[in-house]
Structure 1
């Protein structure tokens, strides 16, 4: 199951663009915690903490325990990050507060097992991944790190669907059907281009005989 990550924050007193700019001038990233029918909490984060989480990947599926200095602790999901258009640094973060008993909508990556022994791949087929992440509804305490699909018996032309996920951890797909996650596609055969026809040999130049020169009659 996914682990809860603790992230430290400072409280912000004012909302608005001017207050957010003032927070950035202090070297911090303005952020907000919203949801669960409660008033929004304005906070500021150390940009190093934000970048550390973004570089891990999969941050939208992680649970964050935001500890506000001289305040309480909020259990959240990191829902959105805004970046500076030039420096690409984070300039604002949105957290969604989790309510007790609430299921959350998350994206979970897919891992494929036994690619080396997959009959279809060994026969020259190609693994065509349709969805690298699956969006599901999950209990906050039971969000999986990844879903796994076993390719050990998959042949060329087979489709691996949601039902092929080995363990779904009590989650529910947001797509209400047994959708395709990946396929084993047939190898692409490239026809060799025919060799260009040989150019016809150039005709030999016709040899013209020089007219015989007769001797002078005396």
Structure 2
């Protein structure tokens, strides 16, 4: 499970574009906490801290404790919005979670020991990744940080299927088929352009001949 962290937030009474712009000028990000059969709670969170956590990886699979006026609320980031032009963070949605909460999240797949895969090391093949992430159902308190696949011994033509992923207890794939996660593919054949010289042809211009009478 990803390491959790705590964020101090402020409850906000005013909502709307004007209030949101005011928050951003003060280096805060508007956000909403919803779920668990409770009314939505509008809050403001620190921009810099949140932005750094977002780009550190694993943001949407990390349980966060939000401190609002001394009240501790455990949440999971469900969505966020970036400015389409300037790419800065403009809003975050959080889902309340508890020990009973089951969530659907995407977990990254990592690959290791490429040097121990004959298809890559000895035969100049390459790893073709079909799924960089896989979607799972799991308890919110037990979200895996990542799945790791060992490539040791794999040769060209071998495939890694979903059944090879080691799922912790309580974690299930949303796709029940044994889909392909990655394959070892042969090296790309070099295309050699062969220039065929066309045989030279002799073109003779023939003029019109007129008969003298």
What's the TM-score once normalised by structure 1's chain length?
A: 0.83
Q: How does 1:21-36 map to 2 (within 5 A)?
A: 21-36=21-36
Any unmatched runs of 5+ in structure 2?
Answer: 201-213
Equivalent residue number for residue 82 of structure 2: 83
Q: How does 1:10-159 map to 2 (within 5 A)?
A: 10-68=10-68, 70-121=69-120, 122-159=122-159
SS of the residue aligned with 2:74?
Answer: strand
RMSD: 2.0
Q: CA deviation at 1:177?
A: 1.0
SS of the residue aligned with 1:116?
Answer: helix
Using the TM superposition, name which of 136-145 and 121-130 deviates more.
136-145
Q: CA deviation at 1:35?
A: 0.7
Aligned equivalents of 2:77 and 2:141: distance in 1? Answer: 16
Equivalent residue number for residue 3 of structure 2: 3
Q: CA deviation at 1:199?
A: 8.1
Q: CA deviation at 1:153?
A: 2.1
Q: CA deviation at 1:38?
A: 0.5
SS of the residue aligned with 2:114?
Answer: coil
Equivalent residue number for residue 209 of structure 2: none
Q: Deviations over 1:133-165 (max 9, x none)?
A: 111112222222110111112121111011112
Q: CA deviation at 1:198?
A: 9.2
Aligned equivalents of 2:55 and 2:191: distance in 1? Answer: 43
Aligned equivalents of 1:181 and 1:66: distance in 2? Answer: 35
Any unmatched runs of 5+ in structure 1?
Answer: 201-218
Aligned equivalents of 2:105 and 2:2: distance in 1? Answer: 12
SS of the residue aligned with 1:20?
Answer: helix
Aligned equivalents of 2:25 and 2:132: distance in 1? Answer: 38
What's the TM-score once normalised by structure 2's chain length?
A: 0.85
* Change beyond 3 A, Cα 1:23–1:191: closer
Aligned equivalents of 1:91 and 1:19: distance in 2? Answer: 12
SS of the residue aligned with 2:177?
Answer: coil
- Number of positions where the alignment pairs a residue of Structure 1 with one of Structure 2: 199
Contact 1:2 1:142 in 2 (8 A): no
Q: CA deviation at 1:98?
A: 0.9
